[in-house]
Amino acid sequence: MKRLGIILSLLCLVLVSGCTAQESDSHEKVIRIAEQYGIAYAPVQIIKDQGLLEKNCPGVQVTWEQMSNSTVIREAMVSDKLDVGFMAIPPFLIGWDNGMDWKIATGLSSVPTGLVAKDEIQSLQDIKSSDRIALPQPGSVQHILLAMACQKEFNDPQKMDNILVTLSHPDGMNALLAGNDITAHFTSTPYLETELATAGYHEILTGKEAFGGDFSFIVGVTTKKLHDESPEVYEAFKESVAEAIQFINDHPEEAAEILTKYYDYSKEDIFTYLTAEDTEYSPTVKGIRKFSDFMNETNYLKKSTTDIGEVVWENTADAEY
């Protein structure tokens, strides 16, 4: 009996220690943001560098969490470790479809994205079952854009799904340029430009062609908890994003100078990327409905949005549905 007592009390200890970890973070004004790197996320670095959140909401405690992809961000937001994340529209919709309590707060950026292939592949038609296409992951915006193009070209959105290889942008670029089995790579700035500058590779599909128009590449998403319980912080967040975007658009050179601290590129390169014709920083959200309808029709989603209010917080004026 004594031994049973010891086992039970040990069990209780385990349970109690599991619970205490949840108790912290009772600070009043807190915002936890996922920090990601890349030209598409430039306003995020500007917000951090210029302390815009602290300026717009004095006393706020900002926590920056390093995260590498939208799946991790989504999981962190489900388990209440994160209030704000930046991601493309398709991963956001997948979370929304599965019952996550979150909505889009703001647009962030549109950057060039496209499918780069070896020169012997001239179009999607030339991609055989022995070819391999690298992209960040299934369900990513790159994957959905590819599915959209396959729908148009072959009337079969899943046509390429079994020849995909999941590689991060830098690994995908190395694999493509190594010339082994990866014959095409769906990627974005600045990897896209680097690959296109290499002899023997060319772009066979742009994101715009696949989508059939403009769309927001990255949007800012917040949890219902942040939106409802800390409206002040939420407003400050939106304002900060808008200010950072304004700053990049008005002073691209100064912004490029700041970004050299965060990215491994020269000021000139960053300036070129920031001001490229197809790069646009804007708080307006574009393309939700088209993504949503397409993903629903092709069974990547179980339902589609019927009203913009389901997926965007009250600032619907900022969104082109």
Partner 1 sequence: MQNIKAIFNKSYSKYIWIVIILIVWEAVAKLTPVSPLVFPSLELIGAALLNSILTGDILFQMLFSLGLIFVGLIIGVVLSFVMSSLSVISPVFESFVDTCISIFDPLPGIALLPLIILWIGTGTKAILFIIVHSVLWPMILNMTAGFKSIPTIYKKIGQNYEFSSAKIIFKIYIPASLPYLIAGLKIGWARAWRATISAEMIFGASGGIGGIGWYIFNRRVFMDTPGIFAGLVMIVFAGILVEDFFFVKIEEKTVKKWGLS
Task: Draw the binding track, 51-80, toward partner 1 (x: CB under 8 A; -: no contact).
Answer: --------------------x--x---xx-
State how far the alpha carbon of 152 is from the alpha carbons of 63, 148, 212, 216, 296, in Å.
43, 6, 10, 21, 16
User: Strand pairing of 182-188 and 113-118?
Assistant: antiparallel
Is the Cβ–Cβ distance between 241 and 15 less than 8 Å? no
- Residues in 203-222 at the binding interface with partner 1, rule: CB under 8 A: none
Task: Report the residue number, 161 or 203, with the smaller CB distance to partner 1.
Answer: 161
Residue closer to partner 1 (CB basis): 26 or 180: 180
Q: Contacts with partner 1: how many residues (CB under 8 A)?
A: 34
Count other C-beta atoms under 10 Å from residue 198's C-beta: 12
CB of 247 to partner 1, least distance (A): 33
Residue 89 CB, shortest distance to partner 1, in Å, is: 15
Q: Among all chains, which residue has been given the structure tokens 């808008």?
A: 242
CB of 152 to partner 1, least distance (A): 23
84-108 core/surface letters (b: 16 or more CB in 10 A; e: else): bbbbbbbbbbbbbbeebebbbbbbb
Do residues 124 and 114 touch, judged by C-beta distance below 8 A?
Answer: no
Q: Does 305 bind partner 1 (CB under 8 A)?
A: no
Contact status: 181 vs partner 1 (CB under 8 A): yes
Residue 132 near partner 1 by CB under 8 A: yes
Residue 101 Cβ vs partner 1, minimum distance, rounded to whole Å: 9
Nearer Cβ to partner 1, position 7 or 257?
A: 7
CB of 176 to partner 1, least distance (A): 10
Contact region with partner 1 (CB under 8 A), list: 60-68, 120-128, 137-145, 235-243: 137-145
Whether 29 and 233 have beta carbons less than 8 Å apart is answered as yes
Q: Which is nearer to partner 1, 52 or 77 (CB)?
A: 77
Burial status of residue 276 (CB atoms within 10 A of its CB: 0-12, 13-18, 19 or more): middle
Q: Which of 102, 54, 17, 148 is nearest to 313 (CA)?
A: 102
For residue 58, count other CB atoms closer than 10 A to its CB.
8
Q: 90: helix, coil or strand?
A: helix
Q: Which stretch binds partner 1 (CB under 8 A): 95-103, 212-220, 223-231, 271-279?
A: 95-103
CB within 8 A of 235, min separation 6: which ones? 56, 57
Binding to partner 1 in span 101-130, by CB under 8 A: 129
Nearer to partner 1, 145 or 270 (CB): 145
Cα distance between residue 286 and residue 319, in whole Å: 6
Closest approach of Cβ 21 to partner 1, in Å? 14
Q: Does 194 bind partner 1 (CB under 8 A)?
A: no
Segment 139 to 178, residues that bind partner 1, using CB under 8 A = 139-140, 161-167, 171, 174-175, 178
Which residues here bind partner 1, judged by CB under 8 A?
Answer: 1, 71, 74, 78-79, 91, 94-95, 97-100, 129, 132, 134, 137-140, 161-167, 171, 174-175, 178, 180-182, 300
